[in-house]
């Protein structure tokens, strides 16, 4: 299953989805530091620097089919730690660009990640936009600590798919723990939070602590993305 990643950051979402068995075929990220990290870990994957021009870039040459459009659009206007202007804010308003890519490419699935506060500052807009192009959606809030991480990092994950394929249950069982514990979908390799799970490294000589900490702070936890990816593949089978 091929993944086009938007707002890629340092690739935490892609890393988890690849561990689940998917294949990344494209990445879009505007931050130069993050693009250097992506180039280190995905040297053969084509990259673009602006989600707003993803469609002409993607169609500028022959590309693989896209089965999943995945990404966490910016959260500063949605987060409780930000101005709380919501999904119409200057940065979080880039949801419209992601929605445009989904509507144009019409993948089998769209995977959207954001802070849990999206439920009160924009989830209704996301659902209405997806419904307008015939997509249904299911979502759940998942915490990194549910997978053994030493921090909470609560995030909302939404899986959307065309209504024409029928309502495929993503087992939206409620709180993250119920979602993760059902049917043994969390492998022991994920639960252990081993050294393999360390944050993505960067090439020697790249910019230092400020860029690195910012990038890590914005990143999706790969272990959570892996579980979501495994669930998606199980549903699609």
Q: Which of 34, 75, 145, 185 is catalytic?
A: 75
**Is residue 9 classed as helix, strand or coil in its secondary structure?**
coil
For residues 82 and 16, what is the distance between their CA atoms, to the nearest angstrom? 27
From CA 15, how far away is CA 23, in angstroms rounded? 10
CA–CA separation, 98 and 94 (whole Å):
7
> ∠ at Cα 212 (95, 70), nearest 5°?
30
| Residue of 65, 45, 72, 18 whose CA lies nearest to 229 | 18
- The contacts of residue 111 (CB under 8 Å, 6+ apart) are 13, 17, 68, 69, 70, 71, 157, 158, 159, 160, 228, 232
**In the annotation, is 75 catalytic?**
yes
Known catalytic residues are: 75
């Amino acid at each position: 299953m091929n993944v086009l990643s938007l707002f890629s950051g340092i690739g935490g979402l892609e890393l988890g989805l690849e561990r689940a068995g998917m294949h990344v075929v494209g990445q879009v990220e505007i931050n130069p530091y993050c693009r250097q990290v992506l180039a280190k870990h995905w040297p053969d994957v084509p990259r673009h620097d602006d989600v707003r021009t993803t469609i002409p870039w993607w169609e500028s040459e022959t590309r693989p089919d896209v089965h999943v459009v995945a990404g966490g659009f910016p959260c500063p206007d949605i987060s409780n730690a930000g101005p709380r202007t919501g999904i119409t804010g200057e940065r979080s308003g880039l949801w419209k660009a992601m929605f445009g890519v989904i509507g144009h490419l019409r993948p089998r699935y769209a995977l959207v990640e954001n802070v849990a506060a999206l439920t009160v500052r924009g989830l209704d807009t996301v659902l209405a936009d997806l419904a307008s192009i015939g997509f249904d959606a299911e979502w759940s809030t998942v915490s990194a600590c549910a997978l053994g991480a030493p921090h909470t990092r609560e995030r909302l994950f939404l899986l959307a798919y065309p209504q024409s394929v029928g309502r495929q249950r993503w087992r939206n069982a409620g709180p993250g723990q119920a979602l993760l514990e059902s049917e043994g979908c969390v492998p022991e390799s994920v639960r252990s939070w081993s050294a393999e799970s360390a944050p993505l490294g960067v090439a020697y000589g790249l910019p230092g602590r400020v860029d690195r900490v910012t990038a890590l702070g914005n990143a999706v936890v790969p272990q959570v993305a892996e579980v979501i990816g495994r669930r998606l593949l199980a549903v699609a089978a």
